[in-house]
Amino acid sequence: MDNFRLIFEMTKKDFQKKYLGSYLGILWAFVNPIVTITVFWFVFQVGFKATPVDNFPFILWLVCGMVPWFFISETISTGTNSIIENDYLVKKVVFKVYLLPIIKILSGWVIHLFFIFFTFAIFIYYNISLDIYSFQLTYYGFSLIVLLIGITLLSSSLIIYLKDIGQLINLLLQFGFWLTPIFWSLKQIPDKYHLYLKLNPFYYVINGYRDSLIYKKWFWEYPNLTIYYWIVTLAILLIGIFLFKRLRPHFADSL
């Protein structure tokens, strides 16, 4: 119980600290993603005259990809720097340092929940009803959190010794954004490249959000892709835990 109470209090504090001092405060957490979605919608829907994707309005298809990506990019960016930002806690022998990346993930999850309901509202606005498939988002959300824990444990421990990791993460996130079918469909790409694009574990989650809200498919309908995702995710998680434990005793000396 003490751990849960500590995580809750630190998550709340982290959430407040991000926006403390600005006039709009916590509203910035919601304004930036909404503006980004609006800009992409305007560029592709109005500028490039994007047609409905599989008979669904482009905005619905776009939001299903953008919402999880906001959570992915924000969490990896903040989680990577979580230990460096809280070096004063790291130097306390009794503090459980592994909680720092997890707190960043939970803090980002609060915003993500809002945007899930924001997505639901847009679907309802377009007279598209939600059904039992929508509950599948809990599975994909859990799957994503496990992957992000592994990534942030790995990156947050490495950046203490290799400062270039921060720049590398930003670069990989940029590539990841364009290589993940967020605003483009896999059907637009020649079949011979599909396998390579599906190797990206974030494809599984983005596609899962669309399957849950648009295509009405269960995750077990993709057995090979599901098995591959969990093999990669658990491998990253185990590597992250192993490396974090090996490097943890030297964190205080290197900060």
**What is the pLDDT of the chain when averaged over all its residues?**
84
Q: DSSP letters of 229-240?
A: HHHHHHHHHHHH
The mean-pLDDT minimum among 74-78, 176-180, 188-192, 225-229 falls in 188-192
The segment with the largest mean pLDDT, out of 1-10, 85-94, 131-140, is 131-140
| CA 164 to mean position of chain CA atoms | 22
Distances (CA, A) of 243 to 96, 160, 230: 16, 12, 20
**Stated pTM of the model:** 0.88
AA identity, residue 4: F
Of 89 and 22, the one with more pLDDT: 89
**Residue 94: its pLDDT value, please?**
66
pLDDT for 225 beyond 80? yes
In the chain, the percentage of residues whose pLDDT exceeds 90 is 38
User: Is residue 199 very low, low, confident or very high in pLDDT (cuts 50, 70, 90)?
Assistant: very high
Mean pLDDT of 78-86: 87
* Six token digits for residue 203: 């494809």
User: Is residue 154 very low, low, confident or very high in pLDDT (cuts 50, 70, 90)?
Assistant: very high
The mean-pLDDT minimum among 41-45, 169-173, 219-223, 242-246 falls in 41-45
Q: What is the pLDDT of residues 84-113, one digit of tens each?
A: 887 777 776 667 788 888 888 988 898 899
In the chain, the percentage of residues whose pLDDT exceeds 70 is 84
The mean-pLDDT minimum among 28-42, 73-87, 164-178, 207-221 falls in 28-42
Distances (CA, A) of 190 to 52, 133, 141, 177, 195: 20, 29, 29, 19, 10
**Cα 65 from Cα 217, distance rounded (Å):** 16
What residues pair up with 200 in beta bridges, in sequence order?
A: none
Four-point Cα dihedral 190, 193, 199, 200, nearest 10: -60
Of 3 and 5, the one with more pLDDT: 5
**Residue 47: its pLDDT value, please?**
57
**Cα 141 from Cα 132, distance rounded (Å):** 16
| CA 213 to mean position of chain CA atoms | 18
pLDDT for 26 beyond 70? no
Of 30 and 159, the one with more pLDDT: 159
C-beta atoms surrounding 85 within 10 Å: 16
**Residue 92: its pLDDT value, please?**
66
